[in-house]
Amino acid sequence: MSEEVAPVVVVAIEISDSALADRLASLLGGVTGIRLATPGEAAAVALVSREAQAVLQPDDIELTPRERDVLVLMAEGASNKAIARQLGISVHTAKFHVGSLLDKLDATGRTDAVAHAARRGVIHL
């Protein structure tokens, strides 16, 4: 009889107080079933400091309706080609919208953009 292995939960620590962040990393690092996210990696859970984070409303980020459409498709894992086909635009235009989203959301990549948008309430996953 094989024993079921529980999935690993990836946790990101986004706290400006380095002593507190190190303490949390030390505590969580030894917990079975939890893995700390590497820098830039998407995480299932993020620990953030309330004091360090400004509360952003979805209105704080000005996205066009087309950018919102592209963002939703990005969240579903669609490639630029799939986004273009779905929205009836060229691949070049889809790539332009993705680049614009990365800039507006101050993201390092597609996954990071989706994570930032979800945390800010721009999209709901």
Mean pLDDT by runs of 10 across the 125 residues of the chain is 70 81 83 84 78 50 89 93 95 95 91 88 79
**CA 79 to centroid of chain Cα atoms:** 16
Please give the pLDDT value at position 53: 44
Q: In this predicted structure, what is the pLDDT of residue 98?
A: 95
The residues facing 11 across adjacent strands are: 36, 45
Give me the pLDDT at residue 10, please.
86
Distance (Å, whole) CA 39 – CA 22 = 14
Backbone dihedral angles phi then psi of residue 45, each to the nearest 5 degrees: -135, 140
For residues 30 and 103, give the distance between their C-alpha atoms in angstroms, rounded to a whole number.
36
The residue behind tokens 């830039």 is 40
CA 67 to chain centre: 16
Q: Which pLDDT belongs to residue 28?
A: 83
What is the rounded distance in angstroms from the CA atom of residue 87 to the CA atom of residue 73? 10
Q: What is the pLDDT, as a whole number, of residue 55? A: 46
Three-class secondary structure of residue 75 per DSSP:
helix
pTM above 0.85, yes or no: no
